[in-house]
Amino acid sequence: MPRTEVTEARRVVVKVGSSSLTTAAGGLDPARLSALVDVLAGLRQRGAEVVLVSSGAIAAGLAPLGLKRRPSGLAAQQAAAAVGQGLLIHRYTAELARHDIVAGQVLLTIDDVTRRAHHRNAHQTFVKLLELGVLPIVNENDTVATTEIRFGDNDRLAALVAHLVHADLLMLLSDVDGLYDGHPDDPGSTLVSEVAVDADLDGIRIGGSGAAGVGTGGMQTKVEAARIATGAGIPVVLTSAARAGQALTGEAVGTLFRPTGRKRPIRLLWLAHVTEAHGVLTLDPGAVRAVVERRASLLAAGVTGVSGRFVAGEPVDLADADGRVVARGLVNFDAAELPALLGRSSHDLGRDLGAGYGREVVHRDDLVLL
């Protein structure tokens, strides 16, 4: 039976990695890119809307700059991206024109999908492009993104874009044809055809970055991206670029990750899966119960300890007395302010220090359970 999650999808986000688009020397492989475009055009012909998240800008810029491998420094990566992004989008534009499809370039930073005003504008841009019949080609804006505000890899970017555009399906294309229970090259490893719940991943060895050395992802980031998307109600298919055509017709190739949750605000997805905590707030047992069981806001009265260096608006972990992290949230106070507030009621803080100090330490709308 074909996978109905695939065949019935009307809006599909497809992510392709650098290793699936480039030669061993690091330049774009015209044959691979052309084959991918043919698959996407076929998906469009059956009536589906398509958004492509494509890596490859940095890899495409290596050869023109005389670089033999992906540089480790951020400035050099940004220089390669500045050169390679134009080459990448030019090639896509030419290949899509063979099918009378117009390409549109969309370069995103983390702010574009997490800040409310930016998120709304980005969503409206995608909607209008799709209404006009354009195939958006998305990449991280590597040329200007700093280490602190990067998505980290295009797998997670694709998962967030899938949520942003209200996709029915996310397809992650790699140089490996699916998730295996061991290293794909080991004779005893077998393909995991379906993941319905996180427990299905127990005992599976998930490796790091790919062997090609031109990307930042790997199976670990793909599984994490699948968790982000499925946690928001979007099914995911993970397979190789070579088998994309089969996968998009619903054939049971690669690994299908079934949805595990419902759609939720994208900034909470970002908070749970993309951010790094700048500090830790230790909670008393009552506050842990309030946050975890009642999904309540965190008040100063329930905080017993503060560690780390952070300012208001930055992410912090919320932990119980044993140090077990139970949630992450955006804190409303600087680290230097909090020690004087601990254990005190909101009423007393508002009365003694002013109304601003009576507010929640972390509001429930800016908090996600881990």
pLDDT recorded at residue 142: 62
Tokens of 350: 């508002």
Q: What tens digit of pLDDT does each residue of 265-279 get?
A: 777 777 777 678 899
pLDDT at 209: 41
Mean pLDDT of 26-45: 92
User: Which pLDDT value is given to residue 316?
Assistant: 94
Q: DSSP secondary-structure letter at 152?
A: S
> Is 80 exceeded by the pLDDT of residue 289?
yes
**How far apart are alpha carbons 138 and 104 in whole angstroms?**
8
Indicate whether 283 pLDDT > 80. yes
- What share of the chain in percent tops pLDDT 70? 90
- 26 compared with 218, residue with greater pLDDT: 218
What is the per-residue DSSP string for 172-240? Answer: EEESSSS-BSS-TTSTT--B--EE-SGGGGTT-----S-TTSS-S--HHHHHHHHHHHHHTT--EEEEE
Q: Can you give the pLDDT at residue 128?
A: 97
Q: What are the tens digits of pLDDT across the range 41-88?
A: 999 999 999 999 998 888 888 888 888 888 888 888 888 888 989 999
Q: What's the angle, vertex CA 60, arms to CA 65 and CA 157, rounded to 5?
A: 130
The segment with the largest mean pLDDT, out of 25-29, 118-122, 336-340, 352-356, is 336-340
pLDDT bin (cut points 50, 70, 90) of residue 143 is: low
What is the pLDDT of the chain when averaged over all its residues?
A: 86
pLDDT at 292 over 90: yes
- The arithmetic mean of pLDDT across residues 121-148, rounded, is 83
149 pLDDT tier (thresholds 50, 70, 90): very low
Residues 6+ apart with CB under 8 A from 356: none
Task: Determine if the pTM surpasses 0.85.
Answer: no
What's the pLDDT at 208? 47
Higher-scoring residue by pLDDT: 294, 346: 294
pLDDT tens digits along 295-334: 999 999 999 999 999 999 889 999 999 999 999 999 999 9
Sheet of strand 169-174: strand arrangement: 103-108, 135-140, 49-54, 11-16, 169-174, 236-240, 255-257, 194-195
CA 117 to the chain's CA centroid: 19
- Res 115: pLDDT: 65
Residue found under tokens 């490996």 = 176
pLDDT in tens, 160-201: 899 889 999 999 998 888 998 877 878 878 899 999 887 788
Residue 220 or residue 248, greater confidence:
248
Band of the pLDDT at 215, cuts 50, 70, 90? very low
- Is residue 132's pLDDT more than 90? yes
* Predicted pLDDT of residue 114: 63
